[in-house]
Amino acid sequence: MRRPLTGKAHRPRRLHVRGHPQWRELFPHLDELGIKVAVHRELPKVQRAYQGYLRQQRDAHRVGMVKPTAEQQSVEKLFPAIAQWVRGYGYIEVGDQEMFGFVARALDYGELAFEDDRPDTLAEAMAVLERGLAKWFKEQGIEVG
């Protein structure tokens, strides 16, 4: 095998694999080639490399993104439940919907988790979403923060 753009071609002495049955049929063939196999439950170096790759992709995607002001960044402190929701649980919808009027909703990738059609302003919508999502997190036994 060859490391990208460096060193001479060589055969690895050992391969590290996750403990899945699909690899077993390869073990005798690798043994014939003189390659040892180390079976692990997790592969932390691979996981770190993958997380690094994802971080690079995310950073490349964010190039040219509009940076929020310091005042705008404080929105996560004002609405911690909403911030937690959109970071890993789903998305929110706020605004005027034809035939329904002004609505505030929290959806978890398809299913409605919270909805209120009483607010008339963005501030009211954010307040009811914060309260509704804080209640949802409490019911699920999840701490907000």
Helix (H) or strand (E) holding 116: strand 111-116
Task: State residue 23's pLDDT score.
Answer: 86
Residue with tokens 């439950």: 41
Please tell me whether residues 57 and 74 are part of one structural domain: no
- In Å, how far are 1, 23, 25, 42, 93 from 29, measured between CA atoms? 16, 11, 8, 23, 55
- In Å, how far are 14, 28, 37, 55 from 43, measured between CA atoms? 14, 22, 13, 18
Please tell me whether residues 53 and 80 are part of one structural domain: no
Task: State residue 1's pLDDT score.
Answer: 47
Is 133 within 8 Å of 81 (Cβ atoms)? yes
In a domain, 8, yes or no: no
Task: State residue 121's pLDDT score.
Answer: 92
- Residues found in the chain: 145
In a domain, 6, yes or no: no
Instruction: Provide the residue-wise pLDDT of the chain in tens; the chain has 145 residues.
Output: 445 556 677 788 899 898 888 888 999 999 999 999 999 988 888 899 999 999 999 889 888 889 889 899 999 999 999 999 999 999 999 998 887 789 999 999 879 999 999 999 999 999 999 999 999 999 999 999 8
As for how many domains the chain has, the answer is: 2
**What distance in Å separates the CA atoms of residue 11 and residue 32, rounded to the nearest whole number?**
12
In a domain, 3, yes or no: no
In a domain, 18, yes or no: yes
